[in-house]
Structure 1
Amino acid sequence: MVEILKTGLYDSIQDLGRLGYQEFGVPISGAMDHYSAKLANAILGNQDDAAVLEFTLMAPRLKFQSDTAICITGMESQAKINEKPIGNNSYTVVRKNDVLSFGARKFGCRGYLAVLGGFQSERIMESRSFYKCITNQQRLKTGDVLKLTDLPIPIKRSHSILKTPKTHFESGVIEVFKSIEYELLEADNQNRLFNNEFTISKDSNRMAYQLDERFENAMDPIITSPVLPGTVQLTPAGQLMILMRDCQTTGGYPRILQLSEMAFNRLSQKTPGQTFRFHLLTL
């Protein structure tokens, strides 16, 4: 068991999402940065889709009520066990009554805490990912107690170190493909997409990243159609919206671009106010 002594800014349990239910209007959800979540699980020997704790910009403070092993990936904010520093991307054994805390954020936006065997929260529609109206909670709160497995801690572990490439946090390039309504864009706007920087708005969240820059948009709305995490929509007001993991399953704004999976993971590690450029990929 793990007790939440103090929450961060936005703490939730996430896995790789609730796939196969979009026809019923159920969002996919899941960890914003699949790369970091999978890495944490891989270092512990978990399945890729084991549930992890995702935190945003500010990390929680936790107390372990049983022995286990942990791994922290993504956002760097100097993790400590009983005030002794531990590294990201490493296998760490924790004991009953140990306290995990974090310092100030150094870089990145979202961090991931994996535990041996994964967090054992309620599974709904084949996923443990939190989502409002699907699960009982949308966020963790102070005083919550999270269930763990009773797996024995392996005696022998590899001491190899896995490092996340700096480009995962520092790259200013977001790779995209043309989407269904791209060709309906005026030529000037097509050029603007790939020759200008864009700024992440302070209004961004797990549902969508909004961009501050505006387009002169003469496109007509479309008939409500399927959308996916990573779909870039252009609103009638000329604002670009990048749909994220908790996005709706359909939308009526033109779908002009689609992020690659790795680009999506990297974008999820950027904070409001950061800038980037789109780079067009070809199939």
Structure 2
Amino acid sequence: MGIRILKGGMLTTVQDSGRPGYQSQGFGVSGVMDRRSFKIANLLLDNPENEAVLEFTLLGPTLEFTSETIIAITGGDFQPQVNGKPVKMYTALYMHRGDILSFRGCRTGSRGYIAFSSYLEIPVVMGSRSTNIKCGLGGFKGRRLLDGDYISFRAKRRYLPYFLSRSLDLNEFEQDNITLRVIMGPQDDAFTAAGKETFLSSEYVVTSEFDRMGCRLEGPFIASKATTDIISDGIAFGSVQVPSHGKPIILLADRQTTGGYAKIATVISVDIPKLVQRKTDHKVKFQAVTVEEAQELLALEAKEMNEFRHQIYQPCKEVLDCRLVAKRISKLFQ
């Protein structure tokens, strides 16, 4: 009862919101890159908010289902197919035993997510099911998924406690050019006034050096007062380091725990999904905001998630068998 990995894709791993609390001991947080898509995938199935999902990059996996379950696919548009026929993203999909889920290609965005109503049978390590590839820790054997792997389900949850009234229509990753809002610091005083102006007024390009650890940008030189070398300190998700070459590097989910380069700014939480769904040669600009503004934006995102739930669910008097749910869902799109 579970899924067989027929093709592992380019980089498919088990992830949840991460493994916080261990950076002081040298263990990175890891977790999903796009937390918004991750949350929506679980919301669509009424899963626990932090239930583990499959995250894949640029090239999706091919999965065979050995039992019935319900899934939701979010993130970039990877053009999913079940048994060779196109299916919708951002909705609940009923999967039969023997069904094959595959992806035609990455049309928009660069990362996708698959949530499962039956929950993946992955052990909890240090409070998380996330994969830390660098440490070989957590997830499925501490590594990316390979052809022939098999993951069991840990529950026979083949129903939804609500009637899914409609799918979400989210085309969030169409733009090639984006603006990332940042909070300046904590070492912005290491840069000249002109250097900070360059950072906030220039356009930077996403390079091919872009993975779960970080995103290196190409663009105008950011001038420092003397050197950008500092005594190593902790690194947050979204920290923007500027080494001596003067080009920004944004550190992401699999970032190192500490770093010795000055951090001119930090990308705010609600904008990180936009960044991690970029591709090579996409363009990025930065806009400074205050901590208070960032907090307000985070509160608005939480409110939006709650509104999504009200938009897509209609309460039922009794638990629905997933076969009935599947029939009702299919009628919505006829």
**TM-score interval, normalised by the smaller of the two chains:** over 0.9
Within the candidate set 177, 180, 183, 2:186 is matched to: 180
Work out the CA distance in 2 between the residues paired with 1:236 and 1:66.
54
Identify which of 187, 195, 198 aligns with 1:192: 198
Instruction: Name 1:124's counterpart in structure 2.
Output: 125
What pairs with 1:212-227 in structure 2 (closer than 5 Å)?
212-215=218-221, 216-217=223-224, 218-227=226-235
Q: How do 1:75-114 residues align onto structure 2 when only pairs under 5 Å count?
A: 75-114=76-115
The 3 A distance-change label for structure 1 pair 125 and 169 is farther
The residue aligned with 2:261 is 253
Superposed CA offset, 1:179-219 (max 9, x none): 11112211111111111111111011111111122524433
Distance 1:10 1:58 in 2: 8
- CA displacement at 1:160 relative to structure 2: 2.3
Q: Does 1:38 align with 2:39?
A: yes
Structure 2 counterpart of 1:57: 58
Matched, 1:10 2:7: no
Q: How far does residue 118 in structure 1 lie from its aligned partner after superposition?
A: 2.8
Residue 87 of structure 1 aligns to which amino acid in structure 2?
A: K
Instruction: State the 1:255 CA deviation.
Output: 1.2
Query: Gaps (5+ residues) in structure 2?
Result: 292-334
Instruction: Find runs of 4+ consecutive structure 1 residues off by over 3 angstroms.
Output: none
Aligned twin of 1:149: 154
Contact 1:169/1:269 (8 A) holds in 2: no
Contact 1:46–1:117 under 8 Å retained in 2: no
AA in 2 matched with 1:45: D
Alpha-carbon distance, 1:163 to partner: 2.8
Question: Which residue is 1:267 aligned to?
Answer: 275
The letter for the 2-side match of 1:67 is E
* Partner SS state of residue 201, structure 1: strand
The structure-2 alpha-carbon separation of the partners of 1:191 and 1:153, relative to structure 1 and needing over 3 Å to count, comes to: same
What CA distance in whole angstroms lies between the structure 1 residues aligned with 2:77 and 2:119?
A: 21
Matched residue count: 282
Deviation at 1:231, TM superposition (A): 0.5
2:211 matches 1:205: yes
Say which SS state the counterpart of residue 51 (structure 2) adopts: coil
Q: Which amino acid aligns with 2:36?
A: Y
What corresponds to 2:165 in structure 1?
A: 159
Quick one: which of 253, 275, 286 aligns to 1:278?
Answer: 286
Q: 3-state SS of the aligned residue for 1:76?
A: coil
Contact map agreement 2:198 2:220 (CA 8 A) in 1: no
Deviations along 1:119-168, whole A, 9 cap, x unmatched? Answer: 221221111111132233321100000121333322652222223253x5
Q: Does structure 1 retain, via aligned residues, the 8 Å contact 2:182–2:288? A: yes
The offset of 1:234, in angstroms, is 0.7
TM-score, normalising length from structure 1?
Answer: 0.95
The answer for unaligned runs of 5 or more in structure 1 is none
Label 1:214 to 1:138 Cα distance change in 2 as closer, same or farther (>3 A).
farther
Aligned residue in 1 for 2:299: none
**SS of the residue 1:192 aligns to:** helix
Q: Look at both structures and tell me which one has the larger radius of gyration over its CA atoms.
A: 2
Q: CA–CA distance in 2 between the matches of 1:158 and 1:139?
A: 32
SS in 2 for 1:53: strand
Q: Distance in 2 between matches of 1:114 and 1:272?
A: 27
What CA deviation, in whole Å up to 9, does each residue of 1:3-29 have, x standing for no partner?
010121111010000011111111010
**Structure number having the greater helix percentage:** 2
TM-score normalised to structure 2 length: 0.81
- Output the CA distance in 2 between the equivalents of 1:143 and 1:249: 33
Q: CA offset at residue 117 of structure 1?
A: 4.0
Q: Which amino acid counterpart does residue 139 of structure 1 have in structure 2?
A: R
